[in-house]
A and B are shown apart, each in its own frame.
With several copies, the nearest count.
Chain A
């Protein structure tokens, strides 16, 4: 098993393509977007099924990559998150096939 980094970005659904472009341009080999159902932040709750505008929907983007690319990606995500709401974390993971990342 090999050491890699895992980025987890929680961001507005409307902005997820912006985030995706950052991952792609920083050379991350892939990412996966999960829909969120509900959430809480800044004192406010939201829920997908009770907001007809869907404008508060959030998604979680997971992306696995090597340290260098993850660092590069984080710099650009910092700029994106300066504008958008959302939360980003990085953690250590082990992977099977190191050449994929």
Chain B
């Protein structure tokens, strides 16, 4: 519980709260899009490099491969479960339910980072390859969601102006995957020594940049909530709160089955429980333009993200502790 409290009072979470508060009080302040996008690039480069450097220290084992595979499988399955819950408990139509489901199957890299911090603050360790797991879990959910959205009625001809493969390119080569995986490989190749000279930038500043970025996320989340909550029924909001726990439970089983240790387990659970708010919304504009951002974004960024970074992560660490105890 101590960890929970010190997490909640860390500057990172406090700046998120500041942004959210400012937005709810209708402050007009904003972080320019170009600047925020630059910071997001920085964060992904830093995470990737760090993971790669750590991976360069250990050989790639079968256990690691299994964790990567498990992440992919989770990302394929979670949207199906999400879609089921959404269709049964809310009034969302097929398209909106599928689009929302894609968000919950994919991951939030900032939630992942926050969990990494919390894991560290709990005195636990985590491994570099979890970054690779995060990158791999971004995309599969979109495949499942598109399948769900397009069951039954479908256009037979592609929409005017669309190009074969544009969606795959957009999704599989989006900025966050390219930068995460690219930086991971660079960190792996360059190793600790090779990256020493970029450490002051990528390691030293990381926490501070994260504060600035979370201020912006708080503003976005708060504004989304303030403008979008009217479109969300109680059942939909409820989904944003219990779905992370459902995914977490599923991931917890995986953690136990694979005998992962607590730190990595907590990260895998967090990834499963987190919902995308950058890569998937962008992909949905191309793949399911009729789905409403005011539903899926408000839910993912306004409801699930705040839940995860405050209450969720401590729960997931606790859960991972139980599971790794049980499994090992």
Measured CB to CB, the residues of A under 8 A from B are: 12-15, 17-22, 25, 44-56, 76-77, 79-80, 82-85
Give the chain A neighbours of B160 by CB distance below 8 A.
18, 22, 76-77, 79-80
B293:A55 contact, CB within 8 angstroms: yes
Number of contacting residues on B, CB 8 A?
35
A76:B161 contact, CB within 8 angstroms: yes
Give the chain B neighbours of A50 by CB distance below 8 A.
23, 30, 219-220, 223
Against A, the Cβ 8 Å flags (1 = close, 0 = not) of B276-294 are: 0110011011100110011
A83:B290 contact, CB within 8 angstroms: yes
Give the chain A neighbours of B293 by CB distance below 8 A.
46, 53, 55-56
Q: Which of B32-40, B72-80, B204-212 contacts A (4 or more CB under 8 A)?
A: B32-40
B289:A21 contact, CB within 8 angstroms: no
| Minimum CB distance partner of B284 in chain A | A55
A14:B285 contact, CB within 8 angstroms: yes
A55:B294 contact, CB within 8 angstroms: no
Give the chain B neighbours of A25 by CB distance below 8 A.
161
Against A, the Cβ 8 Å flags (1 = close, 0 = not) of B151-195 are: 000000001111100100010000000000000000000000000
Given A12-B285, A14-B285: A53 touches B159 (CB 8 Å cut-off)? no
| Minimum CB distance partner of B228 in chain A | A44
In the complex, B264 has a CB within 8 A of chain A: no
Give the chain B neighbours of A53 by CB distance below 8 A.
220, 277-278, 281-282, 293, 297, 301
B161:A21 contact, CB within 8 angstroms: yes
Given A18-B159, A80-B160: A55 touches B31 (CB 8 Å cut-off)? no
Q: Please, could you name 8 A-B residue pairs with CB atoms under 8 Å apart, sorted by A?
A: A20-B161, A22-B161, A49-B32, A51-B224, A52-B217, A55-B282, A56-B293, A83-B290
Give the chain A neighbours of B282 by CB distance below 8 A.
14, 53-55
